[in-house]
Structure 1
Amino acid sequence: MLDTVALPVLRGRSWTARDVRARVAAQAASPAVVRAPRWLGRFARHTVTAHAGWPVHQLTPPAGPSVGPAGPGSVTVLYLHGGGYIAEPVLWHWLLVARLARDVPARVVLPLYPLAGHSSAADVVPSTADLLDELLGETRAAGGRLVVMGDSAGGGLALASAQVARERGHRQPDRLVLVSPWLDVTMTHPDQPVIARRDHMLRLDGLAEAGRHYAGALDVADPLVSPLNGSLAGLAPLTVLCGTHDVLLTDSRRLAAGAAEAGVAVDYHEAPGLPHCYPLAPIPEAAAARTALVAACRADR
């Protein structure tokens, strides 16, 4: 039942390989123009800046400054949206970031990074690492806290960007929070075909095709594309949420085990019977997950 509820809510995630190719071609010919929902103002103050030519949306609590960290004890969340690297944020992403701005409270930074067909991991990951470092400098100077959060493909981008920051010798954020992260785009884990039978949202062939487009000239196993193949040592503490009816469950389990082995603190939540990106869906089980996200941002975990 939960899958049948979440599937139309988080629509657009069940592409076949053919659908993915058509979507990438359409985006390459005529990129979608993303506009924030008008109702955002009811939750938070909303401004738009830029980074590397990307639009960057910033949401802040109504009583706080419209841009920049608020000061000691403040929280900034760099949120990287999912969508298989081929789709822009949907309504449920906007709802989540608005809730985070209000409930943490936090400044939430949502970059609209270029999608496959316009860019690839070789460009997107280093540029996201640049933004991470820029925000970390701002928040630390103000005595605040930076959390990097991402769902699905955004979770993969979050982990890869943190790895690049580490390789550059730069500081880590205070926490990485990953929701149903896509961390290995090869889609070759032997357990995935079995899990796919109960995952009514994602298709193995569509994910593999999207991963190839995002990889561009890189091998799909390159750590910039599939960060599970990179070192997990020296990363920020992790909070990971996933459901067992998610074909990407294997990525979360491998990440939790590998991070713990590398000495990284892991707060791992595995929800029986729940689908991909369930914390974003308007279902009762998502409320506790969103409470966990807020707690992770506040350093309550």
Structure 2
Amino acid sequence: MTAAPGQTTPKGQLVTVQRETDLSLLYRVLRTVIKPLRPRLVKPGKPEPAGSPRLANHPKRKNGCKIVERCHERTDTWLYDFVPETSSSFVRKQGPGPLHNVYYFAGGGFQSPPSGQHWSFVGKIASSLAGTHRFTIVSYPLAPNSPASESLPVLRQLLTRLISESATAGKKVVLMGDSAGANVALSLAFWWASHLSKTIDAYSRKTSFGLGPIETGKPLDLEADMTRLRSVLESVVVISPASDLRNSNSQMAALDQHDPLLGSEYTGAVAEAWTAPPPGELDTGINADDPQVSPALNSGVAYRAMALQKIHVYGVYGTHDVLAPDTDVLRENCEKHGVRGSWMIWEGQMHCFPLAGIYGMEEGVKGMGWLIRMLREETKIEHNHIVGDRPLTQIRERPRLSGRGRQNSA
């Protein structure tokens, strides 16, 4: 069920939609200024080497958070944790501290590492949700040296281990991303839901399917592990996702003249880069028709696996974005197949407009606030003994810690 402009679908729906229509003067000026510059504003830079790039020039601090670099040794993937510099930010008046590990995949046409805009955006959200969520930017392998055929297998191994680690610590996992990064987050979520569902089904049939790449560090107890792992991946949060890399939606041509940032020529080139074979190889078996890289094309079975595993999908996007029609399809498929979630759709807005909230653009601030609210509401649903959030800027004193309130490491 879709709301009319300026309204939100009633509560109780599987998928709720909030539509916005107001466009600020700042945005109207901005889109006029940047449109002649497309696609230079989003053009990929120098190709990154194969594998997870180490982001040597990452900022050390953002919005009251210290950014701590670490390498996930099992997968050689570089991770960047946003750790509040005020230790009391991890401690709540009620509750044990952050119970959600949020892994963020930055957009960049599958070819560029996080920009300064991404660090600031994630920093603001991490600060606002410091009491309940720990944010981490994932430096995932990038095209052309690590296209989808090389990158996704590594990321699946990483996700498997991150989920197992979070399960052991009693925490939830959220995958989040924008644009190309949102594509990666969705692809991983669909893979995990299907993989886990097949494993559970195989166990129920008493076959020897087994856990495959899932490793727990303990003797294998499939039934216990399924109970432990089944609800760990809680949600996927996406901003203007690239959800169908075929670049063939009939509505794209009409939107191309309105899109101030991307354009269909650019999105087609990006899709080709991600689905191309690695240098020196002729074929990968992956193309734009493959749901592995075009999440909206997943079968009903795959969507129902998401619903079965109770993985919610939250998203925000603008309609003056050539990717919007495919995102409509993704959202409608979620509703059709029982995947719960909420969406904000802004009429006339550009690609990834919430990231412009760091510059004070009204719609971007509101989009960022909506994302924070959705993450907070998810926390209240799953952990209703935890109440409220306090941004770092509101934390002044270090409270006394009881043994129960002491923060455990993620």
Residue matched to 2:253:
193
Residue matched to 2:305:
234
Which of 119, 138, 144 is the equivalent residue of 1:117? 144
Which of 334, 343, 346 is the equivalent residue of 1:259? 334
Q: CA deviation at 1:125?
A: 2.0
Pair 1:177 & 2:237 matched: yes
Structure 2 unmatched ranges of 5 or more: 1-25, 197-228, 277-283, 382-410
Residue matched to 1:164:
191
1:70-91: CA deviation from partner (whole Å, max 9, x where unpaired): 9565221110100110111111
Contact conserved, 1:79 with 1:111, CA < 8 A, in 2?
yes
Pair 1:202 & 2:225 matched: no
What letter corresponds to residue 127 of structure 1 in structure 2? V
> Quick one: distance in 2 between partners of 1:266 and 1:28?
35
Which moved further from structure 2: 27-36 or 278-287?
27-36
- TM-score computed with the length of structure 1 as normaliser: 0.86
1:178 is paired with a residue whose SS is strand
What letter corresponds to residue 275 of structure 1 in structure 2? M
> Quick one: distance in 2 between partners of 1:113 and 1:66?
28
Residue matched to 2:134:
107
Residue matched to 2:353:
278
Pair 1:35 & 2:57 matched: yes
1:47 is paired with a residue whose SS is strand
Q: CA deviation at 1:167?
A: 2.6
Residue matched to 1:48:
69
> Quick one: distance in 1 between partners of 2:234 and 2:366?
22
Residue matched to 1:148:
175
> Quick one: distance in 2 between partners of 1:55 and 1:27?
17
> Quick one: distance in 2 between partners of 1:66 and 1:111?
22
> Quick one: distance in 2 between partners of 1:14 and 1:155?
19
1:49-96: CA deviation from partner (whole Å, max 9, x where unpaired): 1232232111122234999xx956522111010011011111111011
Which of 44, 52, 59 is the equivalent residue of 2:82? 59
> Quick one: distance in 2 between partners of 1:47 and 1:10?
36
Structure 1 unmatched ranges of 5 or more: none
> Quick one: distance in 1 between partners of 2:158 and 2:88?
20
Residue matched to 1:222:
290
Contact conserved, 1:196 with 1:204, CA < 8 A, in 2?
yes
1:9-47: CA deviation from partner (whole Å, max 9, x where unpaired): 89997259xx96xx57x416898955212442x521221
1:102-135: CA deviation from partner (whole Å, max 9, x where unpaired): 1111211111112111111123223223322322
Inter-CA distance 9–35: structure 2 relative to 1 (3 Å threshold): farther
2:303 is paired with a residue whose SS is coil
Contact conserved, 2:81 with 2:137, CA < 8 A, in 1?
yes
What letter corresponds to residue 271 of structure 1 in structure 2? W
Residue matched to 1:77:
102
Q: CA deviation at 1:184?
A: 0.9
1:274 is paired with a residue whose SS is coil
Contact conserved, 1:121 with 1:215, CA < 8 A, in 2?
yes
> Quick one: distance in 2 between partners of 1:78 and 1:136?
11
Which moved further from structure 2: 229-238 or 190-199?
229-238
- Output aligned runs, 1:9-28, within 5 Å: 14-15=39-40, 23=44, 26-27=46-47
Q: CA deviation at 1:178?
A: 0.5
Inter-CA distance 220–94: structure 2 relative to 1 (3 Å threshold): same
- TM-score computed with the length of structure 2 as normaliser: 0.65
> Quick one: distance in 2 between partners of 1:184 and 1:266?
19
1:238 is paired with a residue whose SS is strand
What letter corresponds to residue 214 of structure 1 in structure 2? W
Inter-CA distance 7–157: structure 2 relative to 1 (3 Å threshold): farther
Equivalenced residue count is 293
Inter-CA distance 188–50: structure 2 relative to 1 (3 Å threshold): same
Question: Identity over aligned residues, as a percent?
Answer: 24
Indicate the structure (1 or 2) with the bigger Cα radius of gyration. Answer: 2
What letter corresponds to residue 158 of structure 2 in structure 1? L
1:175-200: CA deviation from partner (whole Å, max 9, x where unpaired): 11000000111110000111111101
